[in-house]
Chains A and B, each alone.
Chain A
Amino acid sequence: MHYPANVIPIRVNCSGRVDAGMVLKALEKGADGVLIGGCHPGDCHYVNGNYKTRRRVTLLRRALCEVGVDPRRVRLEWISASEGARFAHTIEAFTDEIRTLGRSPVAALTGGGDE
């Protein structure tokens, strides 16, 4: 199972821990895309954290539209801990999509990150 090496993982216990500020910080510091992985709806290891994530990401993507950042740069994907192949496939697909979107306008502005 292999996938592109351009993704850095940050481990949190639950996708519910992820808030908009964190995603924006990542975009500010140079990420061209941010992928949030959580348990499938109904299967949240912590009961229902993923439902909150879903709402937060929906609002965030709308806000990103307003400020001229393509919302496709932030992706929420339901991947369970046992779905290694699905994870790899998601990374590949997301990488391809980000490549077509090009360098993030935020990163270009803040000068954060590299390549």
Chain B
Amino acid sequence: MHNRLRELREQAGLSQADCAAALGVTRQTVISIEKGHFDPRLSLAFRISQLFEVTVDAVFSPE
């Protein structure tokens, strides 16, 4: 699964730690999602989209 988390996070001026705190997960989780090593659950995907005020498919897309 391809994702734009890093791009959206950097546009919002958030660090990985800030982003993790806002999403209620660990920093390592944010790092792994950004690297494409970890596909988050749907509930986390929705929290990510809500955090950046975009739709889920604007963040995640099939490779």
* Chains A and B come from one and the same complex: no
A residues in contact (CB < 8 Å) with B: none
Identify the B interface with A (CB < 8 A).
Answer: none
